[in-house]
Amino acid sequence: MTAHQLLSQSAGLRDFAATVTSNDDAALGNQARSWKEDVFFTEPGKIYSYSSPGYWLAGLVVEEVSGKPYADAMAELLFKPLGMSRSTLRPSVAMTYPLTAGHRIENKMATVIRPTFNNTAMWPGGSVYSNVGDLARFVIALMNEGKLEGKQVMSPLVVEKLAAPHVTLPGTTDVNYGYGLMSYNYRGVRVVTHGGASTGYGSTIQLVPEHKFAVITLTNRSGETLPRTRDKAMELLLPLKPPEKEEAKPAPPLSEAEMAEYAGAYSHAPRTWEVFVKEGKLWMKHDGVESELKRTGPSTFSYGPSGAGELVFSSGPDGKAEHLFLGMYAAKKIRGGK
């Protein structure tokens, strides 16, 4: 497994909850060193699959290389050079500045989350306290080859690698993942983005480098990212093409051989998806719910109520189905159909 695979979400690591909860700097290393081989759902380098633990481990690499706790390394390597004076990973520092309290919705009412959630073992997965002003400095440097106010504050190589199309998402031709940044075409412009959600907060950074344009949204509600506000800002300030109507193209019917090939059990522990043939059609069972799979493309299928869900069968070098991909996560085929 390589650092490149960790940063491009192609290391084969499962996505799972933190195995250590602590406010101490040692938590990041203690957690990773407690893991066993079952943290992998497939071999490294096989397929994109989002994994917060992958970034926790990448953060530990930063600690080992820098010889400093992750929060201190981030301050020295990123925040200080960019003049992000009020950005930190430490809640004890963040609370010394004006700080917006995180909220959740309970009984249709906004409720302050107390105590503030914190786990040092999860910091590299997205736990920065910041503000729009500081993040704007980071974004401007990203769109200017690492330069800010006439100074080289980030390595041009780092900037290039962050947004480079390292991995193409299964079932797509132009949706790529770099190092923490997704890129895709949207109404005639190339968008580079990253969004996140944590307990009490939500955020999105969306860049269009060719137009030196970016939108930053920060909220103090769990998981909220204000997508309509972001999209409206893009419509007002970018030369977007009119939305294209997607015409459904009839997909070729599935042959018996194809259904037999797709059938089987796919695992991303502790979850398992069963794909099977019933009455001449392909079905999927997950969490006790059965859904018919309806082909929408060569290897893509819709499922669920009104066909809202989408999954992709990803083939290995031998051309046989090896993984199942649903949105952000992949599962490996562990046995064939019966």
For the segment 91-109, what is each residue's pLDDT rounded down to a tens digit?
A: 999 999 999 999 999 999 9
Portion of the chain with pLDDT greater than 70, in percent: 99
pTM, 2 dp: 0.94
With 70 as the cut, is the pLDDT of residue 201 above it? yes
With 70 as the cut, is the pLDDT of residue 338 above it? no
Q: Which helix (H) or strand (E) covers residue 162, if one does?
A: helix 156-163
Give the pLDDT of residue 245: 81
With 80 as the cut, is the pLDDT of residue 67 above it? yes
Q: Which helix (H) or strand (E) covers residue 305, if one does?
A: none
The DSSP bridge partners found for residue 285 are 274, 290
Picking from 241, 185, 177, 178, the residue whose alpha carbon sits closest to that of residue 208 is: 185
With 90 as the cut, is the pLDDT of residue 307 above it? no
Token pair for 319: 């051309």
State the span(s) of the chain assigned CATH 3.40.710.10.
3-237
pLDDT band at 286 (very low <50, low <70, confident <90, very high): very high
Lowest mean pLDDT among 1-15, 238-252, 253-267, 283-297: 238-252
CA 142 to chain centre: 19
With 80 as the cut, is the pLDDT of residue 247 above it? no
With 90 as the cut, is the pLDDT of residue 295 above it? yes
pLDDT band at 250 (very low <50, low <70, confident <90, very high): confident
Contacts of 149 (CB under 8 A, 6+ apart): none
pLDDT band at 141 (very low <50, low <70, confident <90, very high): very high
Portion of the chain with pLDDT greater than 90, in percent: 92
With 90 as the cut, is the pLDDT of residue 133 above it? yes
State the span(s) of the chain assigned CATH 2.40.128.50.
256-336
Higher pLDDT pick, 164 / 247: 164
Domain 256-336: assigned CATH number? 2.40.128.50
Tokens 């018919």 correspond to what residue? 292
CATH topology assigned to domain 3-237:
Beta-lactamase (3.40.710)
Q: 38 in helix, strand or coil?
A: helix
pLDDT (mean) for 129-148: 97
With 70 as the cut, is the pLDDT of residue 20 above it? yes
pLDDT band at 249 (very low <50, low <70, confident <90, very high): confident
pLDDT (mean) for 293-313: 92
Which bin fits 149, alpha (ψ -120 to 50), beta or left (φ > 0)? left
